[in-house]
A and B are shown apart, each in its own frame.
Chain A
Amino acid sequence: MKETRKIEFGFEIFRIVVALAIAYGIALLCIMLISEDPFQAVYMFAVGPFTSVRRFGQLFGKFIPYLLTGAGMCFVYASNRFNLIGEGVYLMSGCLVTYAAVNMGDMGLPHLVFVLLLILVGALTGAVFGSVPAVLREKMGINETVVSIMMNYALLYLATYLVKTKMYDNSITYMASKQIPEDAKLTALISKTQLHGGIFIGLIAVGITALIFYRTALGYDIRICGANPKFAKASGINMTATLILAQVMGAVLAGIGGAVDILGIYDRYMWTALTNMGFDGLIVAVLSKKNPIFVPLGAFLLAYMRTGASILNYTSDIPIEFVDIMQAIIILLIAAEHFMGRYKEKLIFKASRKKNEGVA
């Protein structure tokens, strides 16, 4: 049966390569058709993120929060729950962290203490709001997907309300908070780029997630509950507690993600629509096969694609809507687990039949 393992592993690599090739092929074809300068556009889409320090830095503006929301979604996805509260928590955390930063700006806290305190605010936001769908699901059996999606909108409007009423700024004409004090911001590691100190928080969070997954009893419990709940019950795992904890952990990481993002690259809180960063976290978790060790890889891949698309948008004549469509195609093909599944099955059938012939 070593055969099957080899087939599956080889196939996984093959599948991602083929998916990427097809997706980029479609994208390139479309660019060729609609752009007046297709070669420049293709170049920007594929190589854009690496053409200047700042553009490479922009990639980190996505990579860093993806580390956090991706690791968070690993918890949720590994426990086989489809809880999307990370999206709302991300935004709410950004809002409450901004509020705290604005109000504590003149307390004269040392930079590091101030930042860590604000990250803690983000984590608590995640814990508080994230526990709602988790507890409703595990204690009362209410569908976590429905609750979390509805709550995401409630949190969006709550945040907007807070900005309007509690963080009013006369010097701007649009809906945003007061300016975040410089002291609260995560220091840029390379100036004028989005590569900021949050990367350390992100990498540490991924490390801790991996540690919890593979080096603690809770990690074992979460993975077993996710892989086969009936088996988890039969082997005496406390499913309610495990699954609540896993979903809350996911929300806490999303909350830290929102805090790091707002303190890393924004001057004000200005999200008046869902940011998609929580949903993207789910894509990262899918790309990394719910294994936290692969999260940096998945986060990098997604950040690279999003950044390439963004650079393509502002350096070429391709309309932004089209760029969105191309991103969607690529992500769809990579995330589709069953893409070319028939081919994989055929390989396995062949191997199995050979083996069975030997027996019979």
Chain B
Amino acid sequence: MKKFVAVLLSLAMVFTLAACGGGDSSSAGGSQSAGGGSAAADGEARSIVYICLNLGDLSFNDLGWEGSQEAAEKYGWTADVIELGKDTSTYENAFVDAIDSGKYDLVVTQSNYGLSDLCIKYAPDYPDIDFISYDMSTDAAVDGIDNLFGIAFKQNEGSYLAGALAGKLTETNKIGAFVFNDVPVGNDFVTGYVAGIRDANPDAEVSIAYGGGTADASKLQEVSAAMFDSGVDVIYGISGSAFPGLAKEATGRGGIENGLWCIGVDSDMWTVYKASENADYADVIVTSMEKDVAGSIVYTIDRMVAGELPFGTVEPYGIVEGGVRLSDNEYYREVTPADVLEYMDGLQQDVIDGKVEIPSYFDFEDYDAFVEWRDQ
């Protein structure tokens, strides 16, 4: 018995070592060809690899892929996608495998689960490849890495406007929000939203509900039912995938005609819903806080092609840069009371002119400081 195991083990070792040796040489060959072929000067065809967690969320992951494809099409480049899946321990290998393959010279990725760290870690070793990482923090240490550009979305700016709108629309002085998860980006939405409400309507009460990361539509429907029951009349649904739950509940309760308002997130949800099979849900969505991932990626690549992209920095994309905005569609213009519209247009101009100071979650000392501010 023991002998058999020993033989089996040693066989396994021999096999692995042999295979390993063989694979080694082929991989070296691969990276050589990469070194020769990817000296992509400006104007030459490039190949994008978009690295994300899982496609199919109709939101953050999908929008990044949409932007990458759009840019590739615009310039006649190629674009591939790599989905990393759930197992965080494999991310680094998959990432390095992609940049080592010699097939790509532009990496577009998020910052989630250490992807921004990986860009920071590996960009210096691969000077022939450019890296764009979106949803980074402006505090990230990217100084001097001249092939890495970070996009930081100012979701707090857009959410500030959403908050101000909510503050003006409410009649019960009770306002709600649902956040997909209690994570820094989510709380940056909350920070802007709460600040906007306080500036527009100091008397309003805000209640915030958090999903557990696996937020689904039925959970948000439950939460919104409870909020409506308690007298809340405006809810900001900060979760693309769970949003139908909120829209459904509000529609069932008579929607805007009954004085119940919803604010969407990430894309222009009224337009999206109007065109979908859930068209009847659209009419409860007064507007949406668009976080324009796709547009921002295309905008960034445009600047890169023009030679204007300041590599080695993380740039905040706010209202001015077109990174975030409140959807300004016909429905918004139609249903919003005229005085509120006037107030919102003015406020938006003030934000663009830099007259308003909007707090960000990333400015807080720590989580407790944020909670204290939020709940005051």
- Chain A residues close to B by CB (< 8 Å): 9, 47, 50-58, 61-62, 160, 164-165, 168, 170-176, 179, 192, 194, 261, 265-268, 270-273, 275-276, 293-294, 296-297, 300, 306-307, 310-311, 313-315, 319-320, 323-324
The yes or no answer to B272 lying at the interface (CB within 8 A) is no
The yes or no answer to B308 lying at the interface (CB within 8 A) is no
CB distance from B126 to the nearest CB of A (A): 12
A168 proximity list for chain B (CB < 8 A): 366-367
A273 and B83 in contact (CB under 8 A), knowing A171-B139, A314-B94?
no
A54 and B136 in contact (CB under 8 A), knowing A165-B367, A168-B367?
no
CB distance from B174 to the nearest CB of A (A): 27
B22 proximity list for chain A (CB < 8 A): 50
The yes or no answer to B184 lying at the interface (CB within 8 A) is yes
CA of A5 to CA of B82, assembled, Å: 49
The yes or no answer to B376 lying at the interface (CB within 8 A) is no
Interface string of B177-190 (1 = CB under 8 A from A): 00001111100100
A172 and B97 in contact (CB under 8 A), knowing A165-B367, A297-B12?
no
- In the complex the two chains form, is B27's CB within 8 Å of A52's CB? yes
CB distance from A292 to the nearest CB of B (A): 12
CA of A58 to CA of B12, assembled, Å: 17
CA of A276 to CA of B24, assembled, Å: 30
The yes or no answer to B209 lying at the interface (CB within 8 A) is no
Q: 18 interchain pairs (CB within 8 A)?
A: A50-B19, A52-B26, A55-B23, A55-B97, A58-B90, A61-B89, A170-B137, A171-B141, A172-B117, A173-B111, A173-B112, A194-B89, A268-B117, A275-B89, A313-B83, A314-B82, A314-B90, A314-B97
CA of A125 to CA of B367, assembled, Å: 25
The yes or no answer to B54 lying at the interface (CB within 8 A) is yes
The yes or no answer to B93 lying at the interface (CB within 8 A) is yes
- In the complex the two chains form, is A293's CB within 8 Å of B5's CB? yes
CA of A62 to CA of B112, assembled, Å: 22
CA of A275 to CA of B89, assembled, Å: 9
Interface string of B219-234 (1 = CB under 8 A from A): 0000000000000000
CA of A68 to CA of B121, assembled, Å: 29
A275 proximity list for chain B (CB < 8 A): 88-89
CA of A160 to CA of B100, assembled, Å: 33
CB distance from A94 to the nearest CB of B (A): 11
- In the complex the two chains form, is B84's CB within 8 Å of A314's CB? yes
The yes or no answer to B335 lying at the interface (CB within 8 A) is no
CA of A9 to CA of B1, assembled, Å: 9
A310 and B184 in contact (CB under 8 A), knowing A53-B20, A171-B140, A173-B135?
no
Cβ contact of B27, chosen from A51, A170, A319, cutoff 8 A = A51
A265 proximity list for chain B (CB < 8 A): 89, 92
CA of A285 to CA of B183, assembled, Å: 36
Closest Cβ neighbor of A261 among chain B residues: B89
- In the complex the two chains form, is B20's CB within 8 Å of A174's CB? no
- In the complex the two chains form, is A314's CB within 8 Å of B111's CB? no
CB distance from A164 to the nearest CB of B (A): 5
- In the complex the two chains form, is B113's CB within 8 Å of A176's CB? yes
- In the complex the two chains form, is B97's CB within 8 Å of A173's CB? no
The yes or no answer to B279 lying at the interface (CB within 8 A) is no
- In the complex the two chains form, is A172's CB within 8 Å of B140's CB? yes
Interface string of B313-345 (1 = CB under 8 A from A): 000000000000000000000000000000000
CA of A272 to CA of B53, assembled, Å: 14
Counting chain B residues whose Cβ lies within 8 A of the other chain, the interface size class is 35 or more
The yes or no answer to B172 lying at the interface (CB within 8 A) is no
- In the complex the two chains form, is B26's CB within 8 Å of A51's CB? yes
The yes or no answer to B86 lying at the interface (CB within 8 A) is yes
Having A173-B135, A314-B97, A320-B85, one finds 8 other A-B pairs with CB under 8 Å, namely A52-B26, A53-B23, A55-B97, A172-B116, A267-B114, A273-B86, A313-B94, A315-B97
- In the complex the two chains form, is A174's CB within 8 Å of B366's CB? no
A56 proximity list for chain B (CB < 8 A): 16, 19-20, 23
CB distance from B341 to the nearest CB of A (A): 32
The yes or no answer to B304 lying at the interface (CB within 8 A) is no
- In the complex the two chains form, is B366's CB within 8 Å of A297's CB? no
Closest Cβ neighbor of A53 among chain B residues: B24
The yes or no answer to B299 lying at the interface (CB within 8 A) is no
- In the complex the two chains form, is A272's CB within 8 Å of B213's CB? yes
CA of A266 to CA of B188, assembled, Å: 26
Closest Cβ neighbor of B82 among chain A residues: A314
The yes or no answer to B40 lying at the interface (CB within 8 A) is no
CA of A125 to CA of B255, assembled, Å: 51
CA of A311 to CA of B136, assembled, Å: 27
Q: Counting chain B CB atoms within 10 Å of each CB, which of A52, A160, A310 scores highest?
A: A52
CB distance from A201 to the nearest CB of B (A): 17
The yes or no answer to B273 lying at the interface (CB within 8 A) is no
Closest Cβ neighbor of B55 among chain A residues: A319
The yes or no answer to B96 lying at the interface (CB within 8 A) is yes
Closest Cβ neighbor of A163 among chain B residues: B367
Cβ contact of B181, chosen from A173, A175, A306, A319, cutoff 8 A = A175
CA of A163 to CA of B121, assembled, Å: 22
The yes or no answer to B368 lying at the interface (CB within 8 A) is yes
- In the complex the two chains form, is B139's CB within 8 Å of A170's CB? yes
Q: Counting chain A CB atoms within 10 Å of each CB, which of B23, B82, B141 scores highest?
A: B23
B94 proximity list for chain A (CB < 8 A): 310, 313-314
Interface string of B111-134 (1 = CB under 8 A from A): 111101100010000000000000
- In the complex the two chains form, is B100's CB within 8 Å of A54's CB? yes
B82 proximity list for chain A (CB < 8 A): 314
CA of A313 to CA of B367, assembled, Å: 36
- In the complex the two chains form, is B27's CB within 8 Å of A270's CB? no
The yes or no answer to B8 lying at the interface (CB within 8 A) is yes
A314 proximity list for chain B (CB < 8 A): 82-84, 90, 94, 97-98
Closest Cβ neighbor of B18 among chain A residues: A50
The yes or no answer to B77 lying at the interface (CB within 8 A) is no
- In the complex the two chains form, is B137's CB within 8 Å of A172's CB? yes
The yes or no answer to B309 lying at the interface (CB within 8 A) is no
